[in-house]
A = this chain, B = another copy of it.
């Protein structure tokens, strides 16, 4: 089935808001097997919106619309859609009571405009909104369906995940089964090249790749009348993928590496400390994004200068002189010094060149050494990261620190 996403909002046309809703809905609709042919954005202008609706009604079977359902006078999406689909708006007492209750609970003042939000298309399907005051709705006319949702991403996602996804899945008598794989250490284009047969060669299961800051995500989706058959088809393709990219998949759910490692540390009660040079605190900052990490994380050091590496971690002057600060030996002494100082189970240290200056022919920008002293035993990993700018190098180095810990905990399990 052909689909279009219609975003309504002058703020998008002013460039004040990035249209992430269209991206989110595109992913969801493609997974359900819809062909998304258009993204259209129009402002809060009833005439242009109406024209656009007629155009799309002649082009696609499904229009998924967001925005313009708010209480102000500018918000005329609902009225305009109902006009184009020949629907009358009627007051829905259930929705009205929910709005009254919501406002009462929060001691908000209710205005005439809020009552507008209780009106819904007479023959449409009302979509309950538990996280905002504007309900969504769906109408079908002459073989074309429109689903209209509020614009705030939090509300849109709530409606999508709690109703719209299943509502649209029922357009087909087939059931969808999806599995998300998170990978590390393989770029999106490399992944696509390796998996080219799975990605381009077949339409069921579909395999989609999404780049997520160095941690490419794969989503394998299949459909079948029998959900178990769909699941089997997905699992068969996942087995092939596992064989093609051994060691690259770190999770079978949508979780980033930092959160996963944080979880593993907490669950295994492994205390952790870090000593950072080129990442400048980014490792510690990402680790402390994990709720509950204070159970295992006590302290950490950013030892930017050579002096700090010596005074805080006990790196030897002769080691710095002999091997220079960006070296395997210094990474090793940093990790071991950290272990002596903190007695942690996991002691991770990094030294490297984030750029833009400081690179040499032998050790260009992007050169890093990661030392990991895990339960008293130290290993050092040396990498040459691409020099895609200072912030990119820092981020990539930080992810490699997490991955080294991930591998150590896995090997120890």
Which A residues form the contact surface with B (CB < 8 A)? 7, 12-20, 22-28, 30, 36-43, 45, 48, 52, 55, 208-211, 274, 276, 279-285, 287-289, 291-292, 294, 297-305, 307-308, 312, 354-357, 390-391, 394
Contact = CB atoms under 8 A, between A and B. Distances in A.
A67 to B, nearest CB: 12
Contact of A307 (B282, B288, B297, B298): B298
Contact of A12 (B26, B43, B303, B304): B26
B39 A14 contact: no
The list of the 7 closest CB pairs from A to B, nearest first, reads: A280-B288, A281-B284, A15-B26, A15-B27, A281-B281, A299-B308, A39-B41
Nearest to A296: B304
A57 to B, nearest CB: 14
A150 B116 CA distance: 44
A36 B13 contact: yes
A237 to B, nearest CB: 18
A276 B297 CA distance: 13
Contacts of A276: 281
- In this complex, the member of A28, A209, A294 whose beta carbon has the largest number of chain B beta carbons within 10 angstroms is A294
A39 B19 CA distance: 10
A17 B24 CA distance: 10
Contacts of A312: 299
Nearest to A305: B298
A45 B55 CA distance: 18
Contacts of A357: 291-292
A393 to B, nearest CB: 11
A303 B301 CA distance: 9
- In this complex, the member of A27, A289, A304, A354 whose beta carbon has the largest number of chain B beta carbons within 10 angstroms is A304
B23 A36 contact: no
Contact of A281 (B26, B36, B283, B292): B283
Nearest to A38: B42
A299 B315 CA distance: 14
Given A38-B40, A282-B288, A284-B284, 16 more contacts: A13-B36, A13-B37, A14-B36, A15-B22, A16-B210, A17-B23, A38-B52, A39-B40, A274-B302, A280-B287, A281-B300, A281-B302, A288-B354, A289-B390, A289-B391, A299-B302
Nearest to A280: B288
A16 B110 CA distance: 41
A288 B305 contact: no
Given A289-B390, A300-B281, A302-B300, A208 B14 contact: yes
B19 A24 contact: no
B23 A19 contact: yes
